[in-house]
Structure 1
Amino acid sequence: MRDLAELLRAGDTVVWGQGCAEPRTLTHALREAASAVPDLRCFVGISAAEDTVGAAGLGFKSYGGGGVNRLLDDAGRLDIVPSRYSDLPQLIAEGAMPVDVALVQVTPGATAGTYHLALAAEYLMAAVRNARVVVAEVNHAAPHSPDAPMIPAERISALVEVAYLPTPLPGGPRTTGTAAIGAHVAGIVSDGATLQVGIGALPDAAVRSLSGHHDLGVHTGALGDALADLIAAGVVTNAHKTRDTGVSVAGLLLGSEALFRLAHRNPAIALRETAHTHDPAVLASLPRFTAINAAIEIDLTGQVNTEVAGGRYVGAAGGALDFARPAMLSPGGGAITIVRATAGGRSAIVPQLHGPVAVPRSEVDWVVTEYGAARLRGLTLAQRRERLIGLAHPDHRAALEAASPGAGEARRADSQLQPEPGAD
C-alpha cells in the first residue's frame, strides 16, 4: 500500500468503520501520518482504538460519546454532531458533514476485483460513495457477510492485505437490577415480535430475558452477542417478518468472536445500510416491531435524555427516536425505554432532565425500571407522574412527589378545571 500520508491533504476529514469494523492497520497508519499532514479531522463512531484517538495532531467529532470517545470529551477534544443516527448518510451525501477520506475493512467478494464491507455497512457506505479517497484493509480473518454492500476495485484508491481477528467488543457486565428489568421487558414482548435493540448492558439484559420466546425477528442498528445467542438457540427465526423473511438484518456487528463465527458466510444474517435499517416505512411495516433502548434519565412528563450524565457526554441522540415512532405505528408493536432506577446514588426518574431531550414525551411508549413497567401512551401528565414515580427507587419517591407540577398538569387527579381570574 502507498504511504497513507501521500493520499491525504491538509484539512481532510477522515471516517472509518466503528467498533469491531475499525480497520486497525489503517487507523495506525493515520496516527503516523498525522505528523506529516496538518489539520486532519476525524469523524468517529464507537471507538476502541485509544492509541488512535489519543494521537496528537488529529481533531475529532462524533455522533456520540461511546467507547473511548469519553476520554476525548474529558480532554475537551471531542466535538459532538447532535444528529439522529438516520440522518448521517444524508448529511454526508449533501456535504453538510463532508467526508474526504474513507478507511474501510473489507472481505474479498465472490467475483474478482470486488469487496464486501466487513462488520459494518450503516453510514459507512455513504462515506465510500462520497469520499475523494477510499482506502481498504482486506482482512482475510474478518467474518464475510455475503449480503453486505459491495465496493468495486475501481472505487478503491489503495488497499492492504491483512489477516487478524477484528476488535471484539463484548457487552458490558450484568449488574444489579438488570435481571428484574429483563423480566419486565419479557412480559411486554410478544412471540413473533421483530426486535430492534440498542447498545449497552440494559438492552443486553432485556434480550437475554427472551430465551423462552418463540419465532422472534431481528431488524436493528447493531447486532451484539445477546441477539446472537438467541439466533444460535433458534429463538430468532424471522419467520413472521414481512420483509427480509428468515433473515436477521443489522447495520453493524458489535460483539465478540462468537458473534463473528456465527455471522461468517451466514445467509441468515445481513448487513444493510442505515437507509434500510432505519427506514420508518420499512420499520412500521414489520408486524409487532418492538424497539428496546436504554436511557440515562427520564423526567416526570416522560421526556428522555440519552446523551449526558453527570455533565459528561456519554451517550448519543442516536437512533432511539428513529425507532420509537415506527414501533408505535407497527401492528402490535411498541417502543420500550429502559433505565436503571438509580445511578451513582441519584434517581434516574427526575423532575427535570440534566441533559438534552433526545426523545420527546410524545414519542415515549413503555418505560421500564427494576420496579416495574408503565405504558405512557394516552396518559395525561398527572397520570404519567404517578406511574413514573412508581417506577422510581423507593428512597426517591417522596422527593419526586414533592416536585411542583408543570404547565398542563392537573394539581390533583380528581381536580376540576377552574376558570382563570377575570375570565368570562
Structure 2
Amino acid sequence: MDNLKIVSAAEAVANIKSGDRVFMQGAAMTPTVLIDAMCDRHDELSDVEIMHMHTEGVAKYAEEPCSNAFNINSCFVGANVRNAVNNGNGNYIPIFLSEIHWLFRRNILPLDVALIQVSPPDKHGFCSLGTSIDVTIPAIETAKIVIAQINPHVPRTHGDGIIHIGKINFAIEVDLPIYQSIYKEPSDIERSIGKHVASLVEDGATLQMGIGGIPNVVLANLMDRKGLGIHTEMFSDGILPLVEAGVITGEYKKVKPGKIVSCFAVGSQKLYDFLDDNPGIDFKEAAYTNDTAIIRKNPKVTAINSAIEIDLTGQVCADTIGKYQFSGVGGQMDFIRGASLSEGGKAIIAMPSVTKNGMSKIVPFLKEGAGITTTRAHVHYIATEYGVVDLYGKNLKQRAKLLTSIAHPDHRESLEREVFEHFHS
C-alpha cells in the first residue's frame, strides 16, 4: 500500500471540521467504523451536515447526543434515520436517483468529506467500491477529502467502481464482514402478487426490481422463461437460481448485452461471492443505470416497483405515509418511464391490497400530505393479490372501476360507492 496514508479511525475522522458537509457511502458498503469514530467526536463538532442514500447499521449521528452535532440531509430515508428525519433532527431531499449526482457535480451541494469503504488495492494500486457504486463516484470526484475504510471482505466488482489509492487522502484498515440482508420467507399474499406479476414477464425481457418478498416470488416463477436480462438499480440473491439455470443470459439486451447491469446490490455472502471478480456483472453509477434514455434502449423492459397507497385515479404514493417521510423517491420514476418507452416494455406497481392493519391501500384520495411518486399519467399496470389491471389509456371512471376490482373484498363496497358518487354510474 505504498503512498497510501494508513491511520487510525480517530486520526482519519479528525479531518472532519464543524460546518462540513460529509457524504457516506451506503447500503452494504456503509463504512460503519469510520461513522462511529466520527460520532465519537460529537462533543467537539457542530453543524456537520450528513448526506447519504440508504445506509445500514445503527446511525448514531441520528440519535442523541450525537444529533446535537450532526444534521441529516438525506437523499433517501431508511429505517435507521426515519425518526430523525420526521422529528426535526434531519431532513429529506426529494430527488430522482438518476439526478443525485448533479448535486455534487454541479456544485449545488459541494462536499467537504466523503467516507467510503473499499477493497484492498491490487498490485496496480486500484481498490474496488464493492457493491455500492450508485452516487459514490461523483462524491469521490468532488469531495475535498476522501477517507476510506479498507476491508478484505469487500468484493472486487467490475464496472465503474474502481478507485486508485491516489484519490484516497486517508485510510483505515478493518477486517469485518460487510452487511448481509436476511432472507424472509414470502407471505401467502406476496406469493399471490408475485405470481400475477410473473405472468406479465415475457421471454427476452429486461428486468428491473428490488429486493423483498414480492420480487423474490416473481423471480422464482420465471424458471421457464428464456433469454431474460437484468438492467436495474439494485438486486439481491433472487437472481442467482435464474443465472445458474441459464434463464438470465442478457442476450437480447441492447445496452451491455450479456451483462447484468446495476448500481448496487445487497444480499447474502453467497451473493457477494458471486459478484467478486465476476466480469458478467457491470456495476455502473446511478446516473447511468437510471438514465431513462439508456433504460428504454433495452427490449421489453419490465419494471416492478411498490407503493404505499394508490388513489382511484392511479396516483401512486410510494415514499410517504401522509406527512410522514417513510423512504424516498428513489428510482421508481426513472424505471417507470424507461419501461413505458421501451419497445414492448411494461411498468408495474405491485403491492398488497391492504396494510398490516387491514386498511385499504387503494383509496379514494391519498392521505393529506402524501407525496405523489408516480403520476397517474405515468402509471400502467397495478398488481395486488387479487389480480392485475392495466390503466394505460383508461379514463378516470374506467381506472376507478379497475382498481376497485383488485382491492380487498372488505373494501370494495365502500370504493364502489365512491366511484358512483363521483361518476354517477
TM, length-normalised to structure 1: 0.91
Tell me what 2:360 maps to.
Answer: 347
Change (3 A) 1:269 1:170: farther
2:165 is matched by which residue type in structure 1?
A
Q: Is the 8 A contact 2:210 2:236 kept in 1?
A: no
> Once superposed, what is the RMSD of the aligned Cα atoms?
1.9
Which sections of structure 1, spanning at least 5 residues, go unmatched?
413-424
> Is the deviation greater in 258-267 or in 210-219?
210-219
**1:276 aligned onto 2:284:** no
Alignment of 1:8-407 (within 5 A): 8-52=16-60, 53-54=62-63, 55-56=66-67, 57-73=69-85, 75-309=87-321, 311-343=323-355, 344-354=357-367, 355-403=370-418
Q: Tell me how far apart the structure 2 counterparts of residues 363 and 236 of structure 1 sit (CA, whole Å).
A: 28
Change (3 A) 1:310 1:170: farther
After superposition, the C-alpha distances for 1:233-261 in whole angstroms (9 at most, x for unaligned) are: 43211111112111101101111212111
How many angstroms does 1:118 deviate by? Answer: 1.4
1:346 is matched by which residue type in structure 2?
M
Q: Tell me how far apart the structure 2 counterparts of residues 378 and 273 of structure 1 sit (CA, whole Å).
A: 34
Q: Secondary structure at the match of 2:263?
A: strand
1:166 is matched by which residue type in structure 2?
I
Q: Secondary structure at the match of 2:179?
A: coil
Q: Tell me how far apart the structure 2 counterparts of residues 320 and 247 of structure 1 sit (CA, whole Å).
A: 22
How many angstroms does 1:193 deviate by? Answer: 0.7
How many angstroms does 1:99 deviate by? Answer: 2.1
How many angstroms does 1:225 deviate by? Answer: 1.8
For these two proteins, the number of residue pairs brought into alignment is 410
Which sections of structure 2, spanning at least 5 residues, go unmatched?
1-6
Q: Tell me how far apart the structure 1 counterparts of residues 142 and 117 of structure 2 sit (CA, whole Å).
A: 17
Q: Secondary structure at the match of 1:220?
A: coil
Q: Is the 8 A contact 1:239 1:246 kept in 2?
A: yes
Q: Is the 8 A contact 1:296 1:348 kept in 2?
A: yes
Q: Tell me how far apart the structure 1 counterparts of residues 250 and 161 of structure 2 sit (CA, whole Å).
A: 21
How many angstroms does 1:200 deviate by? Answer: 3.7
TM, length-normalised to structure 2: 0.91
Change (3 A) 1:298 1:171: farther
Q: Tell me how far apart the structure 1 counterparts of residues 331 and 170 of structure 2 sit (CA, whole Å).
A: 33
Q: Secondary structure at the match of 1:211?
A: coil
How many angstroms does 1:83 deviate by? Answer: 1.0
Q: Secondary structure at the match of 2:147?
A: strand
Change (3 A) 1:148 1:106: farther
After superposition, the C-alpha distances for 1:209-239 in whole angstroms (9 at most, x for unaligned) are: 3233222111111111212343234321111
Percent identity for Structure 1 against Structure 2: 31
Q: Is the 8 A contact 1:291 1:336 kept in 2?
A: yes
> Is the deviation greater in 355-364 or in 110-119?
110-119
After superposition, the C-alpha distances for 1:328-349 in whole angstroms (9 at most, x for unaligned) are: 1111111010011000210000
Q: Tell me how far apart the structure 1 counterparts of residues 282 and 391 of structure 2 sit (CA, whole Å).
A: 34
1:247 is matched by which residue type in structure 2?
K
